[in-house]
Structure 1
Amino acid sequence: MLADSGSFEPASPAWEENNYLSSALVDADYQRGSTVDLENMRNREVDEVPHGEPVRETPDNEDELLDPDTLVFTESPSEDVQGRFEEDFQAVFDRIEEETGKPVEFSKVNSYAASVEAMRSERAHIANFSTGTTAFAVNLAGAVPFAAGLTPDKLFGYRLFATTRADADDIQSVEDFARDEVTVGHSEPASNSGHQAPSALFDQYFDVTAEEDYEVNFSGGHGNTTRGIAAGDYDAGPICSTCMVDTVEAQSDLSFDDFKVVWASAPFPNGPVAYRYNLKPEIQAGIERAYLESDFAGTAFQERTGYDQFVPIDYRTVFKDIMIIQGYNGVEYTESALGS
């Protein structure tokens, strides 16, 4: 079923008949979605959030508003780009300070749960959350997702790649993940493409239920799943497409031709930028201007993340599919469900 790389058609991959080397997908920029996909998400009508609570409103009582001397930004391991560092954000931090008059402090955390806890406890005021963590941040930490990044080619988001090694001739479909001898790696419990989405979509599309038809082995991150598949620690696994790209490009001993994709999802929104709901309104407005009215082309931020601009999003519409997936999986927005 391994198709010739030149035969890949992004509009009609025909997954039921074809497997592709990941190089074919990356060459076609299939690791991201288009602005048409994003506009369809932004423009659909959603009266109520399908799972959990809506974004909290800014308090009317001034005593409940936050006016910190320094704005703390946190970056967790994300669905779309991993391993960012403080210097990568300097252009963004400079714009936030220009618009709010407040300096920005970088606070790196090493887990999804820690990023949510930082905002819940008011130790962080601005954050890049992973896609799968966003609903937890809204429900547990008062996060207000307001912007998503676009690449210079106006691409956004990422896909779930159901991945195995290129030489795994006996794994040709997600259905093969359910065989006893196949070891499957997932990233983390709260991860969208690394656990939540495959738990729902594999069940819906292939009648393969994670933790029932195969044992879930949590790797701790998409990079770990990617490297684990290459090393033989896992035979297959669901991986965030852009995380795979980052991991392969960062390691000289890996190649896109090492991996085979047996199925890919429709695009998911990339992890959004969010601020805490009870920041003073003028601070919120300044943060929004810093992201939505700035051109980051040519900066270290654009070089590291791929994003040179941000567009506004509404959690209710853009994250509808994420909430449906988590509702399908019976996710409760609690600290214990988020993991550690």
Structure 2
Amino acid sequence: MNTISNLLLGASAAVLVSFGSMAAAQDCPRGDLDKRFCDADGDLIADIPTDPAQLVDPDTLIFAFTPVEDPAVYKSAWSDFLTHLEKETGKSVVFFPVQNNAAQIEAMRSGRLHIAGFNTGSNPLAVNCAGFRSFAIMASKDGSFGYEMEIITYPGSGIEKVEDIKGKQLAFTSPTSNSGFKAPSAILKADYDMIPERDFEPVFSGKHDNSILGVANKDYPAASIANSVMHRMISRDVVKSDQLVSLYKSQTFPTTGYGTAHNLTPELQEKIRNAFFNFNWEGTSLEAEFSKSDEGQFIPITYKEFWEVIRKIDAANGVSYACE
């Protein structure tokens, strides 16, 4: 098998041919989607191209999981599922360890990424700029799903409530993260009249595990994080629960959304979709990792419905989905 870099370059070359043919704006409904895409059915995601010349059916599929923690942890966690995906599609599947949200979006936008789990906050950008077609999220065995944004500190920090963060440092993860930036920014402004730079010093850690470890080790006085990541880290004894104190817990948000690049052939997209929903979690590496946050199955979703609250948060923050 070729190296990952060679596979990615090959996939990029093949897909960029079809992207090149779509460079000019198409005369079709698209809403917030980039001009390369159409949305004739109004579901807010890119339509599958009707022109066979714009479809791709690669021999090797590239999969990436949202970069919330060390990619090495998740390469192992996803191994059994990717073996299942190979059987269902008849393709080779390679795990692509992306380092940040922007790189993951760009990989799909440029044709180097075929299947992905994009985190809550980057989903709208992936949908509108990269042609991501989300169809599933993880849920617990009873069908419940989601996570909360929490603002955390450490015992003895001198911060007893959210307002005590004024004049201090608050760690975010990245600008594309919902719980790591967008949701806390909107909530702090609306509910506490607290604005970055004016009321506190914002810093960016890069990832949720960095923020959580930073608070646990007293490098940051406070941080906004996804509590699903925190729960998994506590389960693995990466941090201890008594090292952290929760100051705020939000409403429940949808978690990582899974889907495909829009221009895979309809038949291949259907095989990938089926692989998610017929996967037997019991005794697998996926269950071993994600049962720590009480997740045990994939359930179908629609971006239009499930990401409505995230789009509202983006609107409140003045976030643009224009591609750069």
Give the TM-score normalised by structure 1. Answer: 0.78
Q: What is the aligned counterpart of 2:53 among 52, 63, 66?
A: 63
Runs (5+) with no aligned partner, structure 1: 1-47
Residues 308-335 of structure 1, C-alpha deviations (whole Å, 9 max, x = no match): 3100000011011111111111112256
Mark the CA change 1:241 to 1:309 in structure 2 (over 3 Å): closer, same or farther.
same
Q: Distance in 2 between matches of 1:157 and 1:249?
A: 18
Residues 9-29 of structure 1, C-alpha deviations (whole Å, 9 max, x = no match): xxxxxxxxxxxxxxxxxxxxx
1:179-218, aligned counterparts within 5 Å?
180=167, 182-218=168-204
Task: State whether structure 2 residue 160 is matched by structure 1 residue 175.
Answer: no
Mark the CA change 1:163 to 1:52 in structure 2 (over 3 Å): closer, same or farther.
farther
Match of 1:73 in 2: 63
Match of 2:252 in 1: 267
Match of 1:289 in 2: 274
1:166/1:258 contact within 8 Å kept: yes
Match of 1:105 in 2: 94
Residues 24-46 of structure 1, C-alpha deviations (whole Å, 9 max, x = no match): xxxxxxxxxxxxxxxxxxxxxxx
Q: What is the aligned counterpart of 2:261 among 267, 270, 276?
A: 276
Match of 1:327 in 2: 315
Q: Secondary structure at the match of 2:147?
A: coil
Residues 49-93 of structure 1, C-alpha deviations (whole Å, 9 max, x = no match): 9x94421011111111111111111123139x9754333223222
2:68/2:208 contact within 8 Å kept: no
1:1-340, aligned counterparts within 5 Å?
52-53=32-33, 54-78=44-68, 84-152=73-141, 154-168=143-157, 170-178=158-166, 180=167, 182-251=168-237, 254-306=239-291, 307-334=295-322
Mark the CA change 1:259 to 1:330 in structure 2 (over 3 Å): closer, same or farther.
same
Q: 1:126 Cα deviation (Å)?
A: 0.1
Residues 260-310 of structure 1, C-alpha deviations (whole Å, 9 max, x = no match): 112100111111111001110011110110001222121011111223310
Residues 229-261 of structure 1, C-alpha deviations (whole Å, 9 max, x = no match): 122221112111011223334445x32112111
Q: 1:97 Cα deviation (Å)?
A: 2.3
1:78/1:131 contact within 8 Å kept: no
The one-letter code sitting in structure 1 at the alignment partner of 2:95 is F
Q: Distance in 2 between matches of 1:156 and 1:78?
A: 18
Q: Distance in 1 between matches of 2:71 and 2:113?
A: 19
